[in-house]
Structure 1
Amino acid sequence: MEFQLLGPVEARDGARRIAVSGTMMHTVLAVLLLARGRVVSDGRLSELLWGWDPPATWSAQIYTYMSRLRKLLGPKVDLVRRQPGYQLVADAARVDVVEFGRLERLGRRAMEERRLTQAAETLRQALDLWQGPALANVTPHLAEAELPQLEEARMSALEHRIEADLALGRHGQLTSELTRLVGEFPVRERLRAQLMAALYRCGRQAEALRAFHEGREVLAEELGVDPGPDLTAAYQSLLSGELDTLPQPAPSLTSAVPTVSAPPVMIPPLPTDFTGREREFDVLCRRLRPAEANGRATFQPRRLLISGMPGVGKTALAVRVAHAVADQFPDGLLYARLRADDGTVADCGKVLVTLLRALGETSENVLAPNGEPARTEELVHRYRTQTAGRKLLILLDNAANELQLDPLLPATTDSAVLVTSRNRLSAVPGSWTVALDPMETVESLDLLSVIAGATGSPRSPRRPTPSSRPAESCRSRCGPPPPGSPPGRTGR
């Protein structure tokens, strides 16, 4: 089974084209595929089908669309009803958006490692998947929500492919293509800087200078800004003659090649006085590590929830598990607190900004001009793009409900999510829950001994009497832990 989104939305079963007809049906199929196995709520479907003015029978119409789509796609695709919406799972299917993302990541990695020929070829394969404007036959509501992200991904891959070709000395082949692209996208400074480099290396210095001055005028007239770093650096390199003499890309263009930076590590320090919870610890570690299939590691959706009463030790256990499996997640360990010390639910936009900055996004990409977080929808798109294909462990601490978690879940199976919450979050798709009960007597005595700094055997040789109630006495007499206590010292 194959699905196409990078052009008109289509479905094929081998050589047979599946007759999905009508804008609404194409929209439903595209929404489910873009969710990449996650549940799409009825409300989200309604918004993308009809915007802010759905018909009175919108729920029945969605049900009808799903029934038709299920019959058309057949048994190779699992389209099921899961509250609060629908889920499409097609693990064996080829989706061009997913394939584009995979190839684009491989191409960028080759650029980082200066394997320029491979980078250019891989990125060219990714771009060849585009069969025209993406989502060409869906509703305007879906196009408005998803098309900017897809187009930006395409342009980024195109600029990186041109960068690799320039570094390989193919400037003579690029001038006509870049001239057309600059005419189509006049305010994309990186493309104009690449055109200047190609023209200069072809001996067309005057045309390269004219490209810069035309770009400066366009930026001033349309946006009211001066040329940015890429275009300015290209102009300075042109004047100094470096665009012609450097064997590597010019200084103005090297920014196109991402620098290799250390992966983000945001999780709190390892608790030093952790005791007990060995069974839960072992189970969580096993589920976070990849399973073996045919001698190769296979990653499945890993969304693990740790629930329990306040002070029972959810955060400490999660932090200990995260440190134990850190080697399985070479792309980083992210952490976010979803409640303040006073119990206030954290703002989703601010949480996304923090995570995106850790993943390498700049402030201008995630903040509005007034300094506040950008639109939540835009931040979610950037977050899912940044996490796609990365082996990350994301620890979300003290979640309030499923709605708060939904924007923070990555779209692909490469990353794992570990969530702590006082509530049972049953509506999180693909999740598995560990419920923490109050500690047993022996574990409670071990914890008290460690905290008190006792020497010798931490366990009492005397069997506790019912009145002592060691497993509960600490919390009942001392009350809840003070706000801001480190996770290693609050009730295990």
Structure 2
Amino acid sequence: MRIAILGPLEVVADGRPVGIGGARLRALLIRLALEAGRMVPADRLIEDLWEDDAPHGAPNALQSLVSRLRAAFQEAGAGRGRLESRRGAYRLAVPPEAVDAHDFEARIRRARGLADPSARSAELRAALALWRGAALADASGLPFADGPAARLEGLRRAALDERIDADLALGRYAELIPELQALAAAEPLREPLRGRLMRALYGAGRQAEALAEYESIRTLLGERLGVDPSPDLEAVYLAVLRRDSAVLVPAAPEPAAAPPVNRAPAGRPPQRPSERPPGPAPADPPARSASGDEAVPAPAATCARR
């Protein structure tokens, strides 16, 4: 059996869809799928499904939902035994990898252990392809789903950034440009994303457009937030200006996040390189990925500076 929660709930058993009717029944399955293979106490399920509005006789109401879920599994040929009960707790008896969210995280862990950028890109693409919409969409609005959904979305953003970095390392500049332009249009203040777009443009031989991209975000940051671009983005700009090919190689992930950087007030122009013959430029600080390079399973998205 396969349970998909990275988007609207979908259940497939032996190649056939399993119909799970009713919002609360779907929420119950999502809640159990988050801890696939582990016992979840009935009291916790009642609290998560009904919050402060649990009905009189809530244990019986929960048991009724469990019976309906077992019946749906049995009707689809998956067997009632997929949902076990023991001492006031319930367990979805499937391996974690049968749930797409757990499969997604496992693929991210594997990808991060691959040194070859081609293999890493392929594994990350496969992981991202599991997404069909907002995580835990059928439990949206229920507090138990808020934290896991936000965490999974942060990991998705991190995986996307890391896949783009792998493709940059492979020299796939031209094919990355449209994708990065669309992402930048959706999040115009996200500086690491703009840095990746500048790298792709420069790698594709479009230096002037890469420099114009920097001027665009510098103006936007000044007008909306009253700050200048970060040192990381400024370093990318200076490397492109110098025609330093080292800017095309994404930096290796850092073991820990760097301390906060004090932002300069808007209006201070970036320091330009001296008028000397071209030569090796100082190593540009890496544009930090959305994950902050933290290990799975607790990635944190790093969005644009607010």
Q: Same fold (TM over 0.5)?
A: yes
The CA deviation string for residues 15-66 of structure 1, in whole angstroms up to 9 with x for no partner, is 2111101221111111111113233334443443344444445443322211
Instruction: State the partner residue of 1:12.
Output: 12
Kept in 2, the 8 Å contact 1:163–1:249? The answer is no
Instruction: State the partner residue of 1:131.
Output: 132
Instruction: State the partner residue of 1:68.
Output: 68
Number of aligned residues: 261
Shift of 1:185: 2.7
Give aligned-pair identity as a percent: 36
Kept in 2, the 8 Å contact 1:119–1:164? The answer is yes
For 1:236 and 1:76, how far apart are their aligned partners in 2? 63
> Who wins on radius of gyration, i.e. which is larger?
1
Q: 1:130 to 1:77 in 2, by over 3 A?
A: farther
Q: 1:384 to 1:199 in 2, by over 3 A?
A: closer
Does the alignment pair 1:28 with 2:28?
Answer: yes
Kept in 1, the 8 Å contact 2:151–2:298? The answer is no
Q: Which amino acid aligns with 1:158?
A: L
Kept in 2, the 8 Å contact 1:9–1:26? The answer is yes
Instruction: State the partner residue of 2:297.
Output: 385
Instruction: State the partner residue of 2:286.
Output: none
- With structure 2 as the length reference, what TM-score do the two structures score? 0.73
The CA deviation string for residues 89-115 of structure 1, in whole angstroms up to 9 with x for no partner, is 2138722112212221222211xx2x1
Instruction: For 1:295-444, list aligned pairs within 5 A.
Output: 385-386=297-298
Task: Give the counterpart of 1:87 among 67, 91, 107.
Answer: 91
Instruction: State the partner residue of 1:188.
Output: 190
Kept in 1, the 8 Å contact 2:70–2:80? The answer is no
For 1:101 and 1:109, how far apart are their aligned partners in 2? 13
For 1:50 and 1:223, how far apart are their aligned partners in 2? 41
Instruction: State the partner residue of 2:109.
Output: 105
Kept in 2, the 8 Å contact 1:49–1:139? The answer is no
Kept in 2, the 8 Å contact 1:189–1:231? The answer is yes
- With structure 1 as the length reference, what TM-score do the two structures score? 0.48
Q: 1:106 to 1:225 in 2, by over 3 A?
A: farther
Kept in 1, the 8 Å contact 2:82–2:94? The answer is yes
- Structure 2 segments unaligned to the other structure (5+ residues): 261-293, 300-306
Q: Which amino acid aligns with 1:87?
A: R
For 2:231 and 2:132, how far apart are their aligned partners in 1? 33
Kept in 2, the 8 Å contact 1:174–1:198? The answer is yes
For 1:194 and 1:87, how far apart are their aligned partners in 2? 44
Task: Give the counterpart of 2:163 among 161, 164, 187.
Answer: 161
- Structure 1 segments unaligned to the other structure (5+ residues): 262-359, 365-381, 388-492
Does the alignment pair 1:152 with 2:154?
Answer: yes
Does the alignment pair 1:3 with 2:3?
Answer: yes
For 1:215 and 1:77, how far apart are their aligned partners in 2? 56
The CA deviation string for residues 237-277 of structure 1, in whole angstroms up to 9 with x for no partner, is 222222xx23x744xx31xx325x6xxxxxxxxxxxxxxxx
For 1:221 and 1:105, how far apart are their aligned partners in 2? 39
For 1:92 and 1:51, how far apart are their aligned partners in 2? 26
Q: Which amino acid aligns with 2:167?
A: D
Shift of 1:187: 3.6
What SS class does the counterpart of residue 19 from structure 2 fall into?
A: coil
The CA deviation string for residues 297-345 of structure 1, in whole angstroms up to 9 with x for no partner, is xxxxxxxxxxxxxxxxxxxxxxxxxxxxxxxxxxxxxxxxxxxxxxxxx
Q: 1:363 to 1:240 in 2, by over 3 A?
A: closer
What SS class does the counterpart of residue 12 from structure 1 fall into?
A: strand
Select the structure that is richer in strand.
1
Q: Which amino acid aligns with 1:232?
A: E
Kept in 2, the 8 Å contact 1:127–1:157? The answer is yes
Q: Which amino acid aligns with 1:238?
A: V
